[in-house]
Structure 1
Amino acid sequence: MIRTATPADIPVIHDLIRELAEYEKAPEEARATQEQLREALFGERPAAFAHVAVDDVSGEPAGFALWFPNFSTWRGVHGICLEDLYGRPGARGGGHGRALLTGLARICVERGYERLEWSVLDWNRPAIGFYEALGARPQDEWTVYRVTDGALAALGSGD
């Protein structure tokens, strides 16, 4: 079962984000607090949205998707940028990831969005195989750039 996250899901979403960071070998980078997640997902002006996958048998959270709308200047319409998709190891293969992506694709179709996109680590071959089996294709001609921490502060201050 896939459902839209509620404020009561904040602790489990926070735990799932930490689990994802461990899986991606970067636990120190997952610094978001539950309060930050609550504000981002359920504050006065939500910046992101989340769905939770729940195991049909146990009723336990099996994974989540956290996303936000983006905009294509070339197509002139919104799309969805999937920030995180994670399924707990014991729940993998149970259809939760596919159900989460199907739900996001459905939102795109219903709203007239023309893209559903995300990033995946180069070494994550199981995820890459899963995504490609769904019809997703890598954008090989693009390289992701990021500015954070001290470099972001320096750029923002004009240094």
Structure 2
Amino acid sequence: MSIRPIRLIGDPVLRTPCDPIRTITDGTRALIRDLMDTVDDEGRAGVAANQIGVNLRAFSWNLEEKNGVGYILNPVIVELSEELQDGDEGCLSVPGLFFPRTRSAYARCVGTNLEGEEIELAGEGLTARLIQHEVGHLDGALYIDGLERSVKKRALRQIRETL
């Protein structure tokens, strides 16, 4: 079991778009084991590979909803609802801080598993928020990037004071 340390805001790996996984290797399998172990730590819903310092397109999730625990390689969001949801959002890379963020109420992404088979993760509520959040990480974005301007200003100030 290998719970990897989470990279924090300010680490350049979090702002670098991740490379696609082109070949499944022993290193890829080890990455997925580490992502699964790391997301299984208490209070975690999702972990993107760059949050543990690996610049590859993969994330793991741990949802008590119908989607349970899993991982996806090379996820691409293929559907977002026009209907929106509001709610406080946090991030392991911005620890202890939560800010209101609007997201699509439904999201669906597709990717592959370690056997190269196509898989999908889809849902509403927390699942939709997780998909958008984690794929954002893989694109080099943090959830604070999409905050409303006044909230983002407050968030950045709190981040500077906290970290």
Give the TM bin, normalised by the shorter chain: under 0.3
Give the structure-2-normalised TM-score: 0.27
Give the structure-1-normalised TM-score: 0.27
Q: Is the strand fraction higher in 1 or 2? A: 2
Q: Which has the higher contact order (CA 8 A, sep 6+)?
A: 2
Q: Is the helix fraction higher in 1 or 2? A: 1
